[in-house]
Amino acid sequence: MISKTLFSWLGGEAKLDMLIDDFMQRVKADPDLGPLYPEDISHLKPYYKRFAMELLGGPQRWSEQHREVNLEDLHAHLDITQARADAMVRCASAALANVSLPGFAREAALQRVRGAVYRMINVGSAGGVLPPFNQPDTAQPWQESP
C-alpha cells in the first residue's frame, strides 16, 4: 500500500501557503477572533504553516522547532471559548472549501483541526475528547493500494 497524506492530497507546501493565507484573512476578519490578533498578523504565518503542515501529515517542522511547547499553555493567556473555537473551525472549513480536495480528505483535515482547536478551550466546558492531531493515519481512504 502506498500511503498518501492529507498534506500530499492538498498539493504540498505551495498549496498550503495559499490555504494559510486564506485562513488567516478569515480569522482576522472574524468578529470573534479578529480582536485577539494584532493589526499585522503576517509574522504568525510561519507558525500556522508549520503547525498545519504537521497536522496534515507533512514534514514535522512544528515539532522540530517547538518540542517543549504545549498548545494549551501557549494560548492560556487568551479566553478561548466554545464560540471562539467554533469560529476558528468555521474559518478553517471555509478556507478548506476553497482548495481542491476530495470530500473525505477535506473532512479528515477538518477533523484534525477540530481536535487541535477544541483542546485549547479554556473558558467553560471543552466538550468531548477528540483524536490527537499528530498520530499517523491508518487505513484511511486517502491511502492507495499499488
Give the model confidence (pLDDT) of 40-58 as tens digits: 999 999 999 998 998 888 8
With a cut of 90, say whether residue 27 has pLDDT above it.
yes
Evaluate if pTM is beyond 0.95.
no
Q: How confident is the model at residue 67 (pLDDT cuts 50, 70, 90)?
A: low
- Domains in the chain: boundaries: 6-118
Out of 3.40.50.300, 2.60.40.10, 1.10.490.10, 1.10.540.10, which CATH number does the structure's domain 6-118 have?
A: 1.10.490.10
With a cut of 80, say whether residue 3 has pLDDT above it.
no
Element (H, E) at 89: helix 82-97
What local confidence, expressed as pLDDT, does residue 113 receive?
92
Give the model confidence (pLDDT) of 118-127 as tens digits: 988 988 854 4
